[in-house]
Chains A and B, each alone.
Chain A
């Protein structure tokens, strides 16, 4: 085994509960960048071959 296991029993502590949507703020920059691009072009070029 190679793993350092972080305490996994109950990783969410009460003081970690965010009053607001901190995770949304964290992703703000990435979201804004994505929304400033051309979604249609992204989706068109993202078309994948069906896999397994």
Chain B
């Protein structure tokens, strides 16, 4: 088993209010935002591709930002602790908010850049909030190639988790039957059980096989894989964000250990997702393969029981930090869901908070209905990063939502990388090299230029970091002493001379940014 290292890549909604363009303003909005973020370009080569455009890594914390299909995308650095993940999520939202404020200062009167941390515009367009978790290659193969019940188990967990992980949204999309309010923003966009696609025909389980753990002979040992989870919504409540990744860490760890209870598999996962998402009163039951019927909360309770038994055997030791606290919070939250205690759940879960806010508006404004444009606007503004109109931030400022990390931790996550993943070494190298000496960066490798090198020696040096839980502060801090030069540090880290890109790859970077299967 390997540590359940976490990551995330999250697309934001962005547009310029007060400006009409035939094709919308997403393109100009996302580019303005990206230009306002200081970072080191991931490549000296420029491309015209619309996916992964203009990527910049942040020397401050080792994360990065880029543009994907006209959305500013935030990619969180690797973290081990789910609590740290919450801090870095908040930190990256703060980076985007700062960029938004900067851009707004430059916009003409009457125009305002809006940035929303949600997953749907309410008009049948969805964008992702992906979570990544590390697992062994063997575990990956078991899920996708060998043991169908492992995949069914994971799907049942994800689908039932929307009672905790949903942001909630008004109405239905993609011509699905109308509904006032549903738990999951993504449910209407999930069309199949498994799919490698992310922009069309999205699956509950995404099978993109892109480990970001080295290639070929430079791959990590043992062979690693990355579970790319495209199913979840963006969440702003910290408890929901914490549980979203903490529960996933635990369930993936159990799968990796072969601790899989096939009796929890859903008979028709897509039908269950639709029923669960459209039932904010939490009474809907879905059929299991074994013939039983379960509500989403009942199913989550059974996953929790499995996780507790696994924890009692020490299964999470060294694999999932803070597992005891995560289990306790998972248990307590499920208890409140079982009791329909929405008063206190509005402090923890986005869909509950949003629903209660909107219900309150409807009670005070009898002229409005769930179908009113004003309600749909408020649904969107719930997740606005602008603190003057974002409903979530107003509630948080008033102390009406629970925190799991404090502001000092968030500020530290803006300025510093986590010490217990390779993000630490990435950030130190970025700081030492500065943008002029960086040729190319990806999560598992960095290439630098050393001007002092002379032919026949190559000026390029490549550092490989194939293991996400390697190259930590404890492992490498000794190399970054005061006055250490880039050349000396690179040599200490075992940087190699040979270029690792072929000429063809330099011309077409998508060859290596899109998983081809050859990585294995």
Contacts and interface: CB of A to CB of B under 8 A. Distances in A.
Interface stretch (B99-107, B289-297, B299-307, B403-411): B403-411
Contacts of A49: 24, 26, 69-71, 125, 127
B68 interface: yes
Given A31-B361, A47-B123, A39 B198 contact: no
Given A23-B346, A40-B373, A48-B121, A11 B239 contact: yes
B475 interface: no
Nearest to B365: A35
B405 A5 contact: yes
B71 A51 contact: yes
Contacts of B84: 1-3
Contacts, number: 201
Interface string A1-43: 1111110111110001110011111110111011101011111
Nearest to A19: B343
B413 A2 contact: yes
A4 B70 contact: no
A49 B380 CA distance: 15
Interface in B405-446: 405-406, 408-409, 412-413, 416, 418-420
Nearest to A35: B374
Nearest to B400: A23
**How many of chain B's residues touch chain A, expressed as a range?**
35 or more
Contact of B130 (A6, A39, A50, A52): A52
B347 A3 contact: no
Contact of A31 (B321, B356, B391): B391
Contact of A22 (B391, B400, B406, B409): B400
A45 B111 CA distance: 11
B229 interface: no
A45 B325 CA distance: 43
A46 B114 contact: yes
B69 A52 contact: yes
A27 B396 CA distance: 9
B127 A24 contact: no
A51 B69 CA distance: 6
B215 interface: no
A21 B388 CA distance: 20
Contacts of A44: 20
Interface stretch (B10-18, B480-488, B500-508, B512-520): B10-18
Interface string B290-333: 00000000000000000000000000000001100100110010
B80 interface: yes
A21 B398 CA distance: 12
A12 B342 CA distance: 12
A2 B409 contact: yes
Interface pairs A-B: 8 shortest CB-CB: A51-B127, A26-B398, A39-B373, A11-B402, A23-B400, A24-B360, A52-B198, A39-B377
Given A34-B377, A42-B377, 20 more contacts: A1-B419, A2-B419, A6-B403, A8-B329, A12-B402, A26-B395, A31-B361, A35-B361, A39-B377, A41-B17, A43-B123, A45-B17, A46-B114, A46-B122, A47-B24, A48-B121, A48-B123, A49-B24, A49-B26, A51-B68
